[in-house]
Structure 1
Amino acid sequence: MNTANEFEWLRAGLHVRFAHGDGPVKLTRLATGPDARSAAVPSAIVELFTDGRMRERNTQIYLHSAVGVRLRHVEHEIDGNELRIRQRDDESGIEVVSRFRAAGPGVQITHTVRNTTGDDLVLTTVTSALVALQGDSYDLLWGQSEWLGEGRWKQHPLAEVLPDLNLGFHGQDGRGRFKVTSHGAWSSGDVLPTGVLAGTEGPSVAWQVETSAGWHWELSRLREGVTLGVLGPTDIEHQFAERLAPGEEFTTVPAGLVVTDGGRDAAFAALADYRRAIRVRRPVDDRLPVVYNDYMNTLMGDPTTEKLLPLVESAAAAGAEYFCIDAGWFAGPEGWWFSAGAWREAPGRFSGGLRSVVDAIVDAGMRPGLWLEPEGVGVASPVAQRLPDEAFFQRFGKRLVEGNHFQLDFRHPAARAHLDETVDRLVDEFGVGFLKLDYNVNPGVGTEVGVEAPGAGLLGHTRAFRDWLLAVQARHPRLLIESCSSGGMRMDYGLLSVAHLQSTSDQQDFLLYPPIAASAPASVLPEQAGNWAYPDASMSLEETAFAMTAGVMGRMYLSGFLNALGEEQSALVREAVVLHRDRRGGIAASHPVWPLGLPGWDDEVIALLLDSGSESLLAVWSRGGAAEVALPGLENRRLTQVYPASLPGWKVREVDGVPVLAVPSGPSARIFAVDSD
């Protein structure tokens, strides 16, 4: 019901209410519908901090900002799936337009700050999303990550990370916080930009920060609940500051927010539907092809004609639809790292030239792909001398060097023009249909060129890079793009909303891959989770099936010396590819479920269900001794083993309707079809 000082916004699966008057606009209700229980207690929808004044009270939290408490409602309007709220602080002359865009069951939130004064204004921090939640009956889920060990989720009762301080006795809200903060340009290099408060007695809330620049989210105690703050780059954490001349604007990075009446898995399911809703999709994305890549545990950056041709033949025989030549196709004898950046084939590397290998890929019925690291230029590359200094990241007046690479700045037209020429040439000359775009360095807080602080330079670059990706796809609508960053070091929906595929890890040990692959759908849509499947001739048949299972349960990313496999191993590979190709439509509509909980790094038994009703698939990996494992949450659902057909089946029995698996000692894995309940 809308009144003079209250209005509501109702969309499918989402009911939000706001109030205003003698104070800033507050969000007062967040629920799945008009009759559902609200997760929220009243709180301001935005806080912003400037160079002049920070907070109105002592606290470590991004709350009670001097400008934020003075904001007052001017107007609001609903335009289709978007709600816009305009507020103004008459004392400072700052205006804020808050945009709430409905996406699936969730909402994408941004705020645009406008300087309406006659003087410059310096912003140091603006929240992307802010909501206060009722009570403290939640489990907090958050994730750590690193190279080779992506997606290690933690689950704690909220009271373990935010202790009960008896704030009512003190008559004040808390000043401390539980915080999760990114580091540098790897948006998921340390921690994940996603979190969940799973309600144990009421609704659950999940969120994500959608940027490849700096980000931060935090939880803090209120007397009557807990505040969630979601932010992009900040002054304190990321050396961010944005100077606005009179009339200029700044828009925050997007934050995604979902609410659900269920628990952990329901929250992640809602996030999956939200992620599908915000993706910029093209018809070519919906083909979901199987890609073979020659890198992982195979050529490792040293491709030649003689090495590639047997792999091309065996990849096509296994059922791959694309073949990507990874790093090294451009490299001379000195190696592929120091000289990268010109993106032209290395003379003498390919007998008959790269064209002959591409022709072999096409003749085998596959589309060709190539590896690029578009943002990097090796210190020995001729491009480093050809482009101006302003086209690169700089700190303290010098080009920034990290890992013997310069970092291109896509805000500069020369940087974009260089990569536009590269991509257009590769597509025109070789018919490239797939680009694996890698990012193997973390250049730190950003660049100081043309900005008030380096964190703003990094944000500007990442936004320009995303725009460049969209422009490339507009020019080449049949081109698929993978986002890879030393595996999963930049796994955010600033990029993933415009990319086709995300490599989930560089982990080469097939025994360590299951916890990465099984947890990936918490961060990435299953149909975007590029899980490596790299069988090897040294593996037993059980180990081969184990190595292939991860690929089936996401996006199949084939690798390995398939030409060296025995016939029984090759049959297991082909069987997995056929299963994946047959079920990929269902995978692209599925919700992740973890019957045994999100996997621990050392768990002996790991389970992932991709639930899509009648096409659901359950994978179970064994890395320890034999055990009987109950699968709660799958009551009265029938399990039928569908992979591998040639190896012994695992016995399934029911106890009070709950499936119980007889899991043998590992390494061993099975995939089951699960009937809808």
Structure 2
Amino acid sequence: MTVTLPGLEDSTELRIEWGNDVLRVAIAHGPHTAPRLVALWHVAEERPDLAGLRRSALPVLEVTVLGDGRSGTSGKRHVDGAAAQRMRLVGLDETAEEGTAGKAAPVRRLLLHLADAESGLRATVHYELADTVPVLRTWAELSADHELVLDHVTTGVVSGLGHAARWETELAVWEAANPWSGEFRWHRSTLAERGLYDVGMVRFGQVGSKNRISLTSTGAWSTSEHLPMGLVEDTRTGRLLAWQVETSGAWHTELGDRYGDVYLAAMGPTAHEHQWAGRLDAGTGFSSAPVSLAIVPGAAAGPAATLDAVAAALTAHRRRTRRPHPDHDTLPVVYNDFLNTLMSDPTTERELPLIEAAADLGAEYYVIDAGWYDDEHGGWWDSVGQWEPSTTRFPDGGLGGLIDRIRAHGMRPGLWLEPEVVGVRSPVARTLPDAAFFQRHGHRVAEWGRYQLDLRHPAARAHLDTVVDRLVTTFGLAYLKLDHNVDIGPGTDAGTGEAPGTGLLEHGRAFLDWAGAVMDRHPGLVIEACAAGGSRTDAATGRVFPVQSVTDQQDYLATPPVAAAAPLALPPEQTGIWACVDGTMDREQLAFSLVTALLARVHLTGRVDTLDTDQRAVVREALAVYRDLRSAVGRSVPVWPLGLPGWRDPWIVQGARDGDHLYLAVWRRGDTDDGAPDTLRVPLPGRVTDEVVEVLYPRWGGESVAVVDDGGALELKLPALTSARLLRVRVTS
């Protein structure tokens, strides 16, 4: 359709409106107009003021070419690229893919073909929507006939977030700090509290304040400080916009004001923040980091219901876009010998009692964590790389004999591996060429006694293929835990002078490609992603690996806030949660630790060999309950009746909804001096359909649970300062 927009230099434009049954986009374009995303909205919202939003609308592709820069403004922001403003729509394609048994709904795609006649830059912007899911996934493929260098590029840009609002105080941003062993620490603040103000300069012909709210991650740990996702809340309506950057390396996001409104830009690495450069020429293209945007209108039931709706949308999106794996459905119970147990010091003598106990408790996989290759009595950190079994730790049959014992006890065996690193003392460091490692300025990059392999190099990939194929084939492995415990910095120049950030991005993509190829060669092999606990808990990693480690937290009392918040970042069936138990714990403490994992993936650990008969019965009961409900976990969507948990909250509640079944994990972390109430009222996301509240685990009693508020809440009292329960109740919306 053709529309006339008064007061604009290019007064005649065309408009594209596209979307699915829940989400719509409006794009303005014309002979003098770069295609601009004017609005992105949910069909349950009022139709947006497209004419009013047009002034602040940003191009669907924000890109800056080196030597070209920005136009109309300057500063640190990643918008108003001169090349982006010169791009014109030269064609479009729209396709639809019907839903299949493996996909939840049909998928619609819009491809916008753009070109800049001045620079020679060309791009195809991809928009992707699945029916019923209010999440837009977007990325761009760029090319040129001659050499161009990009400073930044993203399609994850949307404006108009503060239209007609006092956005300083009426918009709030939710960010998640992700400290090691205290992951998923969400915090909400207004834009003013984060330092973004309306300085009033637009009325003097200026663009805005030139300021921004920014989050940036550098290096190979994509989530070591912050999650690459967040929320923008419009407090007037309750509307939430969620974003996630789908990359396993460096990324950047920013909120800024522009023409009296607020924009969001989310992207992968940039020149300014990450020493990145996107080189294009006649034979080289570039694909930007995908960004997904979810829109959920404010729920009549309030902010908690809106947050639950965002989580449901993101969970559906992640399940749809990930690599299929049978592990998503089976959710086996894994015993791992690391946490508070062997701590990287395995021997046959130490493993055998754990193997026997784990099997007796009901574990289905048994993973030998770090140290199985160590002949140096703990000095292996800077000598790893060959990944050959120790010749001294496992007498009477070696590592293979020990793995046979695991299999004889009815469990499937697994090993820990740290594939991306080679110790500086390893023979592999001498046999592989320099080009197989990260380099900068003519030197290999070393960090904490390790070199980093560059998985783009054939020799590096061949080395890891040989290692993994040998281990899987020789020992009949069913499980690999792949860890990564050093952050190697901005990246590698590959010995050729390329931008380090470019090398890091391409290595990260090559690593995920390699991991996928391993699972192609070994169907059914479960590979767990880990990086110093939850330091790579990003959507790109989640698309490939069937299960992810999310924390290294060793205190079972501190684990619930991590476990309860994790489903906003990962589907619960991919979230590995430690359930650490030993013979020093009473039955309420054991149940507390076990409940922490029952709505996710149970990674059992601890000195299970020290449990007495009664304690083993407590653990055995928990795992039996888990086997009954794990199919529901894989279908469920997360809910938080009390909101996302604070780090020191005395009460924490995590919910998982599977149709009309609502599962609630409730933890009480009391202290005699904290003054916290011993009774908790839990509002429910729906009305109770009957008065029966099942206590699924533990079943020995001591708690009291009552339905109150005309079926809208539960009143719960737990029997001890440290106690937890898993409940099930039927609810209707």
Q: Give SS of 1:370's match.
A: strand
Counterpart-to-counterpart distance in 2, 1:96 and 1:213: 23
Q: For residue 662 of structure 1, what is the aligned residue in structure 2?
A: 717
Counterpart-to-counterpart distance in 2, 1:647 and 1:537: 21
Q: 1:643 aligns with which of 697, 702, 713?
A: 697
1:127 Cα deviation after fit: 1.8
1:303 Cα deviation after fit: 1.1
Residue type of the partner of 2:219? Answer: G
Q: For residue 68 of structure 1, what is the aligned residue in structure 2?
A: 84
Q: For residue 491 of structure 1, what is the aligned residue in structure 2?
A: 537
Q: Give SS of 1:62's match.
A: coil
Stretch of structure 1 that moved more, 63-72 or 218-227: 218-227
Question: What's the TM-score, normalizing by structure 2?
Answer: 0.89
8 Å contact from structure 2 (residues 44, 297) kept in 1: no
Counterpart-to-counterpart distance in 1, 2:204 and 2:694: 58
1:166 Cα deviation after fit: 3.7
Stretch of structure 1 that moved more, 475-484 or 133-142: 133-142
Question: What's the TM-score, normalizing by structure 1?
Answer: 0.96
Q: 1:629 aligns with which of 676, 680, 695?
A: 680
Q: For residue 218 of structure 2, what is the aligned residue in structure 1?
A: 183
1:36 Cα deviation after fit: 5.4
Q: Give SS of 2:617's match.
A: helix
Name the % identity: 43
Q: For residue 483 of structure 2, what is the aligned residue in structure 1?
A: 438
Stretch of structure 1 that moved more, 46-55 or 4-13: 4-13
Residue type of the partner of 2:279? Answer: R
Stretch of structure 1 that moved more, 364-373 or 22-31: 22-31
Q: Indicate whether 1:424 and 2:472 are aligned.
A: no
1:498 Cα deviation after fit: 0.5
The 1:285/1:653 distance shift into structure 2, 3 A limit, reads closer
Counterpart-to-counterpart distance in 1, 2:135 and 2:529: 24
Q: Give SS of 1:275's match.
A: helix
Q: Give SS of 2:317's match.
A: helix
Counterpart-to-counterpart distance in 2, 1:606 and 1:37: 38
Q: 1:54 aligns with which of 69, 76, 81?
A: 69
Q: Indicate whether 1:214 and 2:257 are aligned.
A: no
Q: Give SS of 1:602's match.
A: coil
8 Å contact from structure 1 (residues 31, 39) kept in 2: no
Measured against aligned partners, the alpha-carbon deviations of 1:368-407 in whole angstroms (never above 9, x if no partner) come to 1000001011112111111111100112211111111110
Q: Give SS of 1:25's match.
A: strand
- Pairing of 1:572-651 with structure 2 (within 5 A): 572-624=618-670, 625-634=676-685, 636-637=687-688, 639-651=693-705
Q: Give SS of 1:91's match.
A: coil
Q: 2:316 aligns with which of 244, 251, 273?
A: 273
Counterpart-to-counterpart distance in 2, 1:39 and 1:602: 43
Q: Give SS of 1:542's match.
A: helix
8 Å contact from structure 2 (residues 702, 718) kept in 1: no
Measured against aligned partners, the alpha-carbon deviations of 1:490-548 in whole angstroms (never above 9, x if no partner) come to 11111110001111111101111111111111111111110000112111211111111
8 Å contact from structure 2 (residues 325, 546) kept in 1: no
- Aligned positions, number: 675
Stretch of structure 1 that moved more, 259-268 or 132-141: 132-141
Q: Indicate whether 1:27 and 2:54 are aligned.
A: no
Q: Indicate whether 1:87 and 2:96 are aligned.
A: no
Residue type of the partner of 2:139? Answer: T
1:141 Cα deviation after fit: 1.3
Stretch of structure 1 that moved more, 621-630 or 287-296: 621-630
Q: For residue 429 of structure 2, what is the aligned residue in structure 1?
A: 384
Counterpart-to-counterpart distance in 2, 1:225 and 1:607: 37
Q: Give SS of 2:602's match.
A: strand
Q: Give SS of 1:97's match.
A: strand
Stretch of structure 1 that moved more, 589-598 or 131-140: 131-140
Stretch of structure 1 that moved more, 237-246 or 655-664: 655-664
Q: For residue 455 of structure 2, what is the aligned residue in structure 1?
A: 410
- Pairing of 1:166-565 with structure 2 (within 5 A): 166=200, 168-171=202-205, 172-200=207-235, 201=237, 203-262=239-298, 263-335=306-378, 336-351=380-395, 352-449=397-494, 450=496, 452-565=498-611
Q: 1:115 aligns with which of 144, 164, 183?
A: 144
Q: Give SS of 1:194's match.
A: strand
Q: For residue 145 of structure 1, what is the aligned residue in structure 2?
A: 178
Unmatched 5+ residue regions in structure 1? none
1:659 Cα deviation after fit: 2.0
8 Å contact from structure 1 (residues 243, 452) kept in 2: no
**Root-mean-square deviation (Å):** 1.9
1:635 Cα deviation after fit: 5.1
Measured against aligned partners, the alpha-carbon deviations of 1:278-316 in whole angstroms (never above 9, x if no partner) come to 101133442211111111111111111111111111111
Q: For residue 104 of structure 2, what is the aligned residue in structure 1?
A: none
Residue type of the partner of 2:42? Answer: T
Q: Give SS of 1:108's match.
A: strand
Measured against aligned partners, the alpha-carbon deviations of 1:2-40 in whole angstroms (never above 9, x if no partner) come to 998222222243222222012111122322338754598
Counterpart-to-counterpart distance in 2, 1:519 and 1:331: 36
Q: Give SS of 1:67's match.
A: helix
Counterpart-to-counterpart distance in 2, 1:73 and 1:401: 46
Counterpart-to-counterpart distance in 2, 1:166 and 1:581: 60
8 Å contact from structure 1 (residues 626, 663) kept in 2: no
Counterpart-to-counterpart distance in 2, 1:530 and 1:38: 41
Counterpart-to-counterpart distance in 2, 1:284 and 1:516: 22
1:247 Cα deviation after fit: 4.3
The 1:414/1:583 distance shift into structure 2, 3 A limit, reads same
Q: For residue 10 of structure 2, what is the aligned residue in structure 1?
A: none
Counterpart-to-counterpart distance in 2, 1:327 and 1:206: 37
Measured against aligned partners, the alpha-carbon deviations of 1:135-168 in whole angstroms (never above 9, x if no partner) come to 2444321100121111111012344323343455
Residue type of the partner of 2:345? Answer: D
Counterpart-to-counterpart distance in 2, 1:420 and 1:570: 40
Q: Give SS of 2:541's match.
A: helix
Stretch of structure 1 that moved more, 610-619 or 47-56: 610-619
The 1:176/1:256 distance shift into structure 2, 3 A limit, reads same
Residue type of the partner of 1:165? Answer: V
8 Å contact from structure 1 (residues 369, 436) kept in 2: yes
Q: 1:165 aligns with which of 191, 194, 199?
A: 199
1:259 Cα deviation after fit: 1.3
8 Å contact from structure 1 (residues 376, 408) kept in 2: yes
Residue type of the partner of 1:627? Answer: D
Q: 1:45 aligns with which of 60, 69, 81?
A: 60
Measured against aligned partners, the alpha-carbon deviations of 1:160-211 in whole angstroms (never above 9, x if no partner) come to 3233434554443331111111121110001110111233305321111111
Counterpart-to-counterpart distance in 1, 2:230 and 2:16: 28
8 Å contact from structure 2 (residues 334, 365) kept in 1: yes
Q: For residue 125 of structure 2, what is the aligned residue in structure 1?
A: 98
1:666 Cα deviation after fit: 2.2
Counterpart-to-counterpart distance in 1, 2:255 and 2:555: 36
8 Å contact from structure 1 (residues 105, 273) kept in 2: no
Counterpart-to-counterpart distance in 2, 1:381 and 1:39: 63
Residue type of the partner of 1:476? Answer: H
The 1:662/1:647 distance shift into structure 2, 3 A limit, reads closer
Counterpart-to-counterpart distance in 2, 1:167 and 1:545: 59
1:229 Cα deviation after fit: 0.2
Residue type of the partner of 1:87? Answer: L
1:565 Cα deviation after fit: 0.7
1:248 Cα deviation after fit: 2.3
Stretch of structure 1 that moved more, 628-637 or 139-148: 628-637
Measured against aligned partners, the alpha-carbon deviations of 1:47-77 in whole angstroms (never above 9, x if no partner) come to 1112202111123321111111111111111
